[in-house]
Structure 1
Amino acid sequence: MISRLVHLLTGQDETSKERRHDRVQLAVAVLLLEMAHADRTFAPLEKKLVNGLLRERFGLDAGQADELIAAAEKKRDESFDLHQFTRLINEHFTLEEKLEVMEGLWRLVYADGELDRYEDALARQLAGLLRLSHRQAISMKLRVLDEVDPERRRR
């Protein structure tokens, strides 16, 4: 009864809200996986990092994160572009949330300690698609670099 009232008042029911939330989770997972695969390897450390980022961001347990990753891998393989995923994120995330996604992407880039040219190009492309300025994207990059290598500024 309550869900029927919600549907009448808002034009959507609880299950459509859940599906929208799942679609946004899937979109974030696809972007993370795209970055993890950008250097043509998907190392166990990167898989662990993707899992951890999704668990932290969406409050998932390990099994739920693994299921999301499996679904995102399938969606990633079926997709021709990233625009559909970034559009969903832009529609549903605040600037702060999009910056968190960008930070997660940079964490994946530096998981192996190196900046691959394909990862760098993809990071720039995704920053633009997420409607982040160059300054905002670089700010997230520097935040990650400061955590990965706190001594780098002293050299």
Structure 2
Amino acid sequence: MIDFFKRFFSTAAENGGTPAGRDNDQDVIVAIAALFLEMGRIDETFTQQEMARVLSILTDRYGLSGEDADALLEEADRELKESVDLWQFAKVINTRYSIADKEKLLERLWQIVYVDGKMDQYEHYLMNKVSKLLGLSHKQLIDAKLKVLHSE
């Protein structure tokens, strides 16, 4: 598992996912994956399209192999089941990611939301909640949304 995280962080910098710090790297990537899973599941149906998008983001944007992405999602799922809320994940991201990195994270979350071409009320709620937990403004949230909508 340590090799997995070393590989992740050696390729993350090349793909726009550079964390601001290097301490507790495992916590950061697990927190990101937990947010991806939560977004996919928020409407109580985690479709194959949504899972494919999550895996695509992890492999394409973060440079993970399919096997590493699966292992990461298993760990993130365990962490989600043990968590009370999303604050613990946002706290880890907030201490290690820059504003620009958090904006990129919002874009990736929007990609999961819009994989089916629409946003439901639960996804809307969670996107607003996550942006607030990450200390980002409503403008940053909307800018990230528009960037994703205009690129697809």
The answer to whether the Cα contact below 8 Å between 1:36 and 1:46 also exists between their aligned partners in 2 is: yes
Q: CA deviation at 1:18?
A: 7.5
1:105 aligns with: 109
2:146 aligns with: 142
Aligned-residue sequence identity (percent) comes to 39
2:83 aligns with: 79
Of 118, 123, 136, the residue aligned with 1:119 is 123
Listed as ranges, the gaps of 5+ residues in structure 1 are 1-16, 149-155
TM-score, scaled relative to structure 2: 0.82
Q: CA deviation at 1:137?
A: 0.6
Listed as ranges, the gaps of 5+ residues in structure 2 are 1-20
Count of aligned pairs: 132
How many angstroms apart in 2 are the aligned matches of 1:117 and 1:30? 20
Runs of 4+ with >4 A deviation: none
2:37 aligns with: 33
Higher relative contact order (CA 8 A, sep 6+): 2
Of 34, 59, 62, the residue aligned with 2:66 is 62
The answer to whether the Cα contact below 8 Å between 1:26 and 1:71 also exists between their aligned partners in 2 is: yes
The answer to whether the Cα contact below 8 Å between 1:25 and 1:58 also exists between their aligned partners in 2 is: no
Answer with 1 or 2: which has the greater Rg: 1
Deviations 1:70-91 (A, max 9, x none): 1111211221100000000000
